[in-house]
Homo-oligomer: A and B are copies of this chain.
Amino acid sequence: MHTLVRRTHEERILRALREFGPLSRGEISDRVGLSRTTTSEITGELIERRAIVAVAPDAADRVGRGRPADRLVLDPGAGQVVGIDFNHGRVQVAVADASQEIIAAGDARYDLDSAWRERAQIAFALLERLTVETGVHYGALQGIGIGFPGPFSPQGSRLALGRDKRDTSAVDGARELREHFAQRFDVPIMLDNNARLAGLAEAIWGGQSASSDLIYLRLSHGIGGGLVQGGVLSTGASGYAGEIGHITVIVDGAECRCGKRGCLETVASVPAVLAACARRGAPVADLAALRASVASGDPIVGAVLRDVGDAVGRVLGGLAVVLDPAEIVIGGPLVQAAPMIVDQARSAIGYELIPIPQAAPVIRAASLGDDDGARGAIAAVLRRSALLQRYPDDGVARDLPSPLQRSTT
């Protein structure tokens, strides 16, 4: 059977099982409108993949003549895709079942000095912990998506960040990470920039409906972003699209880890904000302390955050003038601690926009939680969203669904 057709049938069967609970093969065949043969063939494959399981009939089913049929049910513990986001000092994991529902999620801290080998080990331990806590298992795993921090191209791990071209630590890190996971799991592994994946998740699941023109900004230890334009997740010509954190906002400003000066990241990242608070006489130790200062109405912290929102808004407003998005989404841990940044940015964006009332975008805080990057990684592995129709082929062999259909979730 044609792969695409088979996948469509598979999705309809999985949806029926999710909606109606346990069904016999005959009931599935009737509900989904497939022949008994096709239904048997596809459910056979799903059972083999451990996406669904056959359960023996109840005594209650023993009515009428003959042996009652087995009933099939979604394996509630079968992780089909794992999404992982390595962010600053924390790995976040989400596990999706065959119908793309998140069936387990969690996070763990890692030391900032740790090697990628150790971070991978911490991710593995987290996945095992989820097995114990939720009963999820990985025997049916189809693929793993990994969100990698910092500028990263899905078209090949060719990054050389920093003015010194010999600094290839990020390339090496990504390669190493992929190898650790490949040794542990015999499934395809996809890597991409974690902020882009978070933006993808916001575009698919964050708003009222899937967004076809969106600018996403993630304020974290670093600043990253993602763009969706004309219904397509942007990668750019070489895979680096979305690096909103490295637009210059202060000429000859503070040195940025990218090698430039005065990037947005030197003003609106978590460490930049903490440093500004300290410099202006209101030191806060970390994001929790910042959140407390915001709650208590500390005027200095408030002034710092207004400046941050202004800088963010000026950059996003300029981009909005050129890209004409339907939605601008600002997320990440800094926004969770200080949501007022979004309000301040909204006002600054309003000033930057050309006064064309019809073109004004919706500006909102990110609505997904900390697992946004991990969820985006799952979406990127599954490729069921139309937003990924022009996404570069990463060589991962997968049963490709139609790139033209909208995400079914």
- Chain A residues 127-174 with CB under 8 Å of chain B are 151, 153, 158-163, 165
Distance, CA A158 to CA B160, complexed state (A): 45
Q: In the bound complex, do residue A248 and residue B352 qualify as a contact, i.e. CB atoms below 8 Å apart? A: yes
Distance, CA A255 to CA B289, complexed state (A): 42
A69 sits at the interface (CB 8 A): no
Distance, CA A325 to CA B236, complexed state (A): 6
- Chain A residues 323-373 with CB under 8 Å of chain B are 323-326, 351-352, 354-359, 361
Copies of this protein chain in the complex: 2
Distance, CA A163 to CA B357, complexed state (A): 10
Interface string of A212-240 (1 = CB under 8 A from B): 11000000000001010111101111111
Tell me the nearest residue of chain B to A243, going by C-beta. B321
A244 sits at the interface (CB 8 A): yes
Chain B residues in 8 Å Cβ range of A63: none
Q: In the bound complex, do residue B242 and residue A322 qualify as a contact, i.e. CB atoms below 8 Å apart? A: yes
A282 sits at the interface (CB 8 A): no
Q: In the bound complex, do residue B248 and residue A355 qualify as a contact, i.e. CB atoms below 8 Å apart? A: no
Q: In the bound complex, do residue A324 and residue B354 qualify as a contact, i.e. CB atoms below 8 Å apart? A: no
Chain B residues in 8 Å Cβ range of A153: 358-359
Distance, CA A227 to CA B326, complexed state (A): 17
CB-contact partner of A237 in B212, B234, B239, B322, under 8 A: B212
Chain B residues in 8 Å Cβ range of A324: 235-243
Chain B residues in 8 Å Cβ range of A260: 351-352, 354-355
Q: In the bound complex, do residue A358 and residue B151 qualify as a contact, i.e. CB atoms below 8 Å apart? A: no
Interface size on A, residues (CB 8 A): 55
A271 sits at the interface (CB 8 A): no
Q: In the bound complex, do residue B162 and residue A355 qualify as a contact, i.e. CB atoms below 8 Å apart? A: yes
A202 to chain B, nearest CB (A): 15
CB-contact partner of A318 in B165, B258, B318, B355, under 8 A: B318
Q: In the bound complex, do residue B237 and residue A354 qualify as a contact, i.e. CB atoms below 8 Å apart? A: no
Chain B residues in 8 Å Cβ range of A358: 153, 158, 160, 238
A247 sits at the interface (CB 8 A): yes
Distance, CA A233 to CA B273, complexed state (A): 38
Chain B residues in 8 Å Cβ range of A259: 354-355
Given A225-B322, A314-B248, A324-B241; A359-B236 close (CB under 8 Å): yes
Tell me the nearest residue of chain B to A326, going by C-beta. B237
Chain B residues in 8 Å Cβ range of A398: none
Q: Which of A232, A246, A357 has the largest count of B CB atoms less than 10 A from its CB? A: A246
